[in-house]
Amino acid sequence: MGSCKSVAVRAARKAGLLLKSKLGQARRIEYKGAVNLVTEMDLLSEKIIVGEIRQHYPNHSLLAEERVTKQEDSPYRWIIDPLDGTTNYAHGYPVFCVSIALEEKGELILGVVYDPMRDELFLAEKGKGVRLNGWKIHVSSTSKLAQSLLATGFPYDLRESPANNFDHFRNFALRVHAVRRAGAAALDLCYVAAGRFDGFWEMKLGPWDLAAGSLLVREAGGKITDFLGKDLHLDGKHVLASNGKIHREMVEILQMGRF
C-alpha cells in the first residue's frame, strides 16, 4: 500500500500543480453535451496521472473520466478524475481538484484528492482514517438538520430532464442553515469528511466523481449511501453523504422530490 499511496500522491500533486499554473489561460474546449465540457487540460492532467500509474503498475486496470479505460486481469483498479470542476476551470474560477482512488477486488482501499489552489491534499486509506496535509480529520458533530450547512450540484441534463435537483434544492434550502453549490463533487465530499459541510447530495454522478471522496467520508466517520439510504455503488450515480447524525432526515427530505 505504501508504494501505491506514494504514486497516487505524486501523480495528484504533479497534475494539480500543472492545472494551477495554467488557470486563466485560453484553453481549447470541447462540449460533450449542452453544458458538459472537457478542456485540453483535463486530457493533459489525465495523461500525467495515467503515466505515473502505468510506470509503476503497468498491469493494473484503469478507469478515467475522459479517454482512458484499461481493463486488465488484475485485482487492482485505479479510478481517476483528472480535473473535477472542469466548468469552473474553464471559466477561471479557482475551485477544482484532482481525484484518484484505488480498488482492490472491488473494494476501495485508497483515496487521494488534491486541491492545488489551497495546497490541500486529502488522503484516506481503508481502516486508517483520513488526513488533510498530514493532520487527521473527521466529520462534524452537527446533529440538527436546521443548523447544518449542506452542499449539492446539478446534473448536466438539467435542461432536458425533470429529475434535475431543483426540487431537492428548494426542499433542503427551506429546512437547513444554508446550501452551497461550488461545482466540484469530489471537493464537496472532502469537505464533508473535514467537517466543513455537514452533508452533501447530488444526482447522476460518475464513479470517478465518487470513488476517492466516498472513502474519505467513510474513513472520517461519516455515512455515504444512495438517496434511499442503501449501500452506495459507484455506478449508482445518486449520492448522499453526511456526518451520519443528519443522514436519516436527509433521506426523508429526498423522498419528497424526484430522482
pLDDT in tens, 129-154: 999 999 999 999 999 999 999 999 99
pTM of the model: 0.94
**Predicted pLDDT at 179:** 98
Identify the domain boundary among 103, 137, 171: 137
**73 in the same domain as 128:** yes
CATH of the domain at 235: 3.40.190.80
* pLDDT tens, position by position, 80-137: 999 999 999 999 999 999 999 999 999 999 999 999 999 999 999 999 999 999 999 9
Instruction: Let me know: does 250 contact 144? Beta carbons within 8 Å.
Output: no
**Predicted pLDDT at 259:** 83
**182 in the same domain as 110:** no
* pLDDT tens, position by position, 154-193: 988 778 888 899 999 999 999 999 999 999 999 999 999 9
**67 in the same domain as 179:** no
**199 in the same domain as 85:** no
Q: Which domain holds residue 232?
A: 145-254
Across-strand partners of 152? 201
Helix (H), strand (E), coil (C) string for the chain:
CHHHHHHHHHHHHHHHHHHHHHCCCCCCEEECCCCCEEEHHHHHHHHHHHHHHHHHCCCCEEEECCCCEECCCCCEEEEEEEEECHHHHHCCCCCCEEEEEEEECCEEEEEEEEECCCCEEEEEECCCCEEECCEEECCCCCCCHHHCEEEECCCCCCCCCCCCCHHHHHHHHCCCCEEECCCCHHHHHHHHHCCCCCEEEECCCCHHHHHHHHHHHHHCCCEEECCCCCECCCCCCCEEEECCCCHHHHHHHHCCCCC
The whole-angstrom separation of Cα 161 and Cα 16 is 33
Total number of domains in the chain: 2
